[in-house]
């Protein structure tokens, strides 16, 4: 029987509708400052999507676009000005659209961002608090993945708490997705295994997973041979192959064996933006 499809677009709409209701109670609308450096076409598209959905929720946005030639120090200075309200209003949160131009030191630029405005949840301070299990801004993509896993369990007729004790395999160990996701799954009492390019017997490791998250960046790498029957499969990858957008999972084969699966596009991507907006509301609420 074909897998249940976990529709990230529909779940994101539900979350954003709830956020819009919460924002209506605020005396002042939240403000998201979006920083873009350079002319990367994909980054421009992502910024446009985030701005559009923020505005639809009732979040004000301010875009700050800088030329590709801007230096690390200049960009740091600009972010500090934005954070101080020098442009007219202190933002609730600041989003620095990544990747930055190659000549810019991204880690150094991010140090200019006040931790209380880190709505992407990527600063060392935010990730350190997350590691300790304290309240903080959670990184958007991993947080969205957790919401998708919970939705999958509900669609499969399970209680959300049933995630406890499950074997979760995270295929990928990036600081943006893989590593923080593993920590967040541990907090939910999963048994977590990280897999990567050096993992031996990779198929066998993945095939043990009740929850398999593919964030390896290799299109259609995860085939049915990697997947345990009835597993929840979350596909984080997104790559253009010819005229198609595909993920890290071979959807056609895996959807015939998995219990639930996210599509690409329409799975993790919309949820990443929804969690960003959730963090903006959290920052605004103080």
Structure tokens given for 70: 């801007």
What is the rounded CA–CA span in Å between residue 223 and residue 135?
37
Average pLDDT of the residues in 206-229 = 97
Task: Give residue-wise pLDDT tens across range 103-122.
Answer: 999 999 999 999 999 999 99
Among the listed residues 72, 180, 65, the one whose alpha carbon sits nearest the alpha carbon of residue 121? 180
Query: Is 97 an annotated catalytic residue?
Result: yes
Do 202 and 169 touch, CB atoms closer than 8 A? no
Task: Give residue-wise pLDDT tens across range 164-200.
Answer: 999 999 999 999 999 999 999 999 999 999 999 999 9
The pTM of the full predicted model, rounded to 2 decimals, is 0.96
- Give the full edge-to-edge strand order of the sheet including 93-96: 60-66, 31-37, 93-96
Structure tokens given for 244: 């198609």
Query: Is 40 an annotated catalytic residue?
Result: no
Count Cα atoms within 13 angstroms, Cβ side, for 90.
8
Do 110 and 117 touch, CB atoms closer than 8 A? no
Catalytic residue among 7, 24, 40, 50: 50
Mean pLDDT, the chain, rounded, equals 96
What is the rounded CA–CA span in Å between residue 282 and residue 32?
12
For residue 1, the model assigns a pLDDT of 73
CB-CB neighbours of 197 under 10 Å? 9
Helix, strand, coil share of the chain (percent; to 5): 45, 15, 40
For residue 280, the model assigns a pLDDT of 98
Average pLDDT of the residues in 246-254 = 97
Query: Is 24 an annotated catalytic residue?
Result: no
Average pLDDT of the residues in 189-218 = 97
**Domains, in order of start, for the chain:** 28-114 (3.40.50.10860), 140-269 (3.40.50.720)
Catalytic residue among 97, 150, 228, 250: 97
Catalytic residue among 120, 210, 235, 248: 120
Tokens 């960046």 sit at which residue?
A: 217
Count Cα atoms within 13 angstroms, Cβ side, for 111.
6
Q: Report the chain's terminal Cα–Cα distance, integer Å.
A: 47
Among the listed residues 77, 85, 70, the one whose alpha carbon sits nearest the alpha carbon of residue 33? 85
Q: Decide: helix, strand or coil at residue 40.
A: coil
What is the 8-class DSSP label of residue 249?
B
258's CB contacts (< 8 A; 6+ apart) are: 3, 227, 229, 230, 231, 232, 233
For residue 128, the model assigns a pLDDT of 95
């Amino acid at each position: 029987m074909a897998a249940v499809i976990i529709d990230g677009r529909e779940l994101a709409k539900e979350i954003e509708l709830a956020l819009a209701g919460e924002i209506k109670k605020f005396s002042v609308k939240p403000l998201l400052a979006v920083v873009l450096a350079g002319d990367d076409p994909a980054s421009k598209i992502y910024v446009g999507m985030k701005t559009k959905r923020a505005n639809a929720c009732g979040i004000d946005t301010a875009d700050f676009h800088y030329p590709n030639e801007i230096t690390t120090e200049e960009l740091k200075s600009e972010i500090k000005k934005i954070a101080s309200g020098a442009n007219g209003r202190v933002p609730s949160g600041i989003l620095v659209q990544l990747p930055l131009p190659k000549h810019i030191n991204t880690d150094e630029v991010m140090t200019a961002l006040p931790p209380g405005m880190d709505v992407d949840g990527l600063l060392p301070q935010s990730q350190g608090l997350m590691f300790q299990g304290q309240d903080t801004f959670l990184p958007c993509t991993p947080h969205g993945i957790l919401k998708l896993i919970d939705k999958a369990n509900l669609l499969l007729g399970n209680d959300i708490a049933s995630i406890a004790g499950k074997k979760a395999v995270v295929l990928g160990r990036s600081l943006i997705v893989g590593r923080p996701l593993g920590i967040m799954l541990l907090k939910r009492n999963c048994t977590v295994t990280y897999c990567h390019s050096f993992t031996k017997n990779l198929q066998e490791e993945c095939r043990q997973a009740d929850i398999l998250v593919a964030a390896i960046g290799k299109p259609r790498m995860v085939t049915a041979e990697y997947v345990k029957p009835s597993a929840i499969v979350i596909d984080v990858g997104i790559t253009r192959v010819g005229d198609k957008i595909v993920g890290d999972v071979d959807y056609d084969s895996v959807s015939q064996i998995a219990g639930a699966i996210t599509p690409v596009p329409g799975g993790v991507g919309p949820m990443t933006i929804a969690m960003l907006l959730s963090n903006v509301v959290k920052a605004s609420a103080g």
